[in-house]
Structure 1
Amino acid sequence: MALAVEQFATSLSLGVLAKATLLKKRVRFTLNALIVYRFDTYLPVPVWTPR
C-alpha cells in the first residue's frame, strides 16, 4: 500500500496545481463568501415590531 502512496506523491507536482485556474476561482469565491458571511453576523439588524 505504501508503494501506491509513494507513486502518487511523486507524480503530484505543484505545477499541476498552479495551472488549476478553475479550482483557484472556486476556492477564492468560497473564502470570500465566508468572509462576507462572518462580517454580516456582526451587523445589527433593525427589528420591526407591529404596533
Structure 2
Amino acid sequence: MTKEEISDMTRFALSDRICSAVKAVLEQVIEEEMTEHIGARHREKTDRRTV
C-alpha cells in the first residue's frame, strides 16, 4: 500500500467520523428544539399532550 493510498483511506475515515459526529449533534439539537416547542420530551405525556 502506498503512502497516497494510506493518506486517502485516513482522509475518508476521518471524513466519515466527522459526518457521524455532526449528524449526532444536529439530531440532539433538533430533539431539544422539538422538546422545547412541544413542551415534553419524546414519549412524555403532559396535560396538553396525551397521545
Q: Could you state the TM-score of these two structures normalised by the residue count of structure 1? A: 0.48
- Highest RCO, 1 vs 2 (Cα 8 Å, sep ≥ 6): 2
Greater Cα radius of gyration, structure 1 or 2: 1
Q: Could you state the TM-score of these two structures normalised by the residue count of structure 2? A: 0.48
